Structure 1
Amino acid sequence: MADRHLIDVHILLVDGDRLLLTQRGGSDAFSGRWHLPSGKLDAAEPVTAAAAREAYEEVGVVIDPADLRVVHVTHVAGSGPEPRLGLFLHARRWHGEPTNREPDKCSGLRWVRLDEVDELDVIEYPAVGIRAYLDGDAVAFSEHGWVPVAV
């Protein structure tokens, strides 16, 4: 296992009773599965600025960082070569119509009714944050994929 932990931001764009999901492209184990617009923090970048940047880069919407609120934090193992701290942010407002701006990484976008999210093949890691949002566990913390360590 790597000696560092990545920090990821995941953006929940909710329009009424619908959530925007992206479908992973490529040929890895997650190809074809559903995810949220997301990405890693850059050096010296605040969390809300990273989330706004990733939303613009991936789906072309403009979000004022002040319109983002953290709805869940999870510490994840097994979703890639390095452990991750995932921060899930709900965008209260945004400007623009979502479009697929990274067709080399994303094979599609889809608005999904909130009551239908569980019927899709969502990658386990983002599913944790989506479920917390849907359950109303604002600013809750979870751990996912870790094997218990004997003390």
Structure 2
Amino acid sequence: MTVSDDPRGTAALLVDSRGRYLLHLRDANKRICDPGTWSIPGGNREGAESSREAVERELLEETGLVVPLEEFTVVDSRGPDGVKGRIRVYLGTWDGDADHLPCTEGIMFRHFDAGTIPYLTMCPWTKEVIDLHRAQAPALALALALAPVPVQACAGGQARLNVVGVHLHLEQDGKVLLGLRHPDSSYAAMTHHFLAGHCEQESAVACLVREAQEEAGITVDPADVELAHVVHVMDHPGGQPRMQLVFRARQWIGTPQVREPDCCVSWGWWSADALPDPIVPYARAAIDGMRAGRLYTEMGW
């Protein structure tokens, strides 16, 4: 592609490790594109600039940031005169404090989680970009979670791999399915938890389907499953790091039954506003994260 073929507009979608988006509140009552809306940093190419050169320059001018960026998507936009245009959007990560950014244009910068986005006055194409990122993020998170990569050096300088756990999130009439674990259970005795298991020689979704049938007599079609949240957890310093994948099933067949009484003594539906006590801490964190629209939580690090 030549520079002349590049879209004139550029923008940078920056996401932090909590899944929050860095947004820029644009001036109102000015003859600019999308006045008074929350958008993302960016601007038009100048002279013979490429889109990448332009977005890096605009990001530096507007925020003072220099971060690695990768091409993400191209969206349509409209200028102040209603003229159609196109914007090439780049994706990057940044975990800093938005309040400390310089604001050379517009009103302010803020981080917002996905659950807050629908309640903001959003620039239309920015909302389209965030929706696209949210749709693609579960697949990206799953690929990272399952990759057999050492995540942390432990005592003696040896790296350790993650244990991968899978969890089924079922919701019915606004209530979440949780099981009460057996009092003799080696983990979380007499504590409420998701239907869950560890990956064996199988994919995460295959494990989920198997565990649902074995533990509760529930039939789940893999096509009806989507990744809803990831909790990267370590129970204590130097402990085994675990990547806990929580999958949501949009539909299922069967009524939960106690099929493994030595593991689980009962199943129940609980309001997310009144979860039972005790409950496995990372299960509560995952439910809170899903309600807030986040994809990822860290605990114990």
TM-score normalized by the length of structure 2: 0.44
1:22 aligns with 2:179: yes
Q: Tell me the equivalent position of 1:149.
A: none
Q: Tell me the equivalent position of 1:110.
A: 268
1:59 aligns with 2:216: yes
Q: Tell me the equivalent position of 2:300.
A: 145
8 A Cα contact 2:219 2:253, kept in partner = yes
1:126 aligns with 2:283: yes
Specify the structure having the higher radius of gyration (Cα): 2
Identity of aligned residues (%): 33
Whole-Å separation in 2 of the counterparts to 1:58 and 1:105: 8
Whichever residue aligns with residue 282 of structure 2, its letter is Y
Whichever residue aligns with residue 173 of structure 2, its letter is G
How far off its partner does 1:121 sit? 1.5
Whole-Å separation in 1 of the counterparts to 2:257 and 2:195: 11
Cα 1:142–1:106 change in 2 (3 A) is same
RMSD: 1.8
8 A Cα contact 1:71 1:132, kept in partner = no
**Residue ranges of structure 2 left out of the alignment (5+ in a row):** 1-153
How far off its partner does 1:75 sit? 1.0
8 A Cα contact 2:178 2:192, kept in partner = yes
**Residue ranges of structure 1 left out of the alignment (5+ in a row):** 147-151
Q: Tell me the equivalent position of 2:292.
A: 135
Whole-Å separation in 2 of the counterparts to 1:135 and 1:23: 25
How far off its partner does 1:29 sit? 6.0
Q: Tell me the equivalent position of 2:197.
A: 39
**Which one is further off, 54-63 or 108-117?**
108-117
Whole-Å separation in 1 of the counterparts to 2:199 and 2:185: 24
Whole-Å separation in 2 of the counterparts to 1:20 and 1:39: 15
DSSP-derived class of the 2:282 partner: helix
How far off its partner does 1:114 sit? 2.4
Q: How many residues align?
A: 141
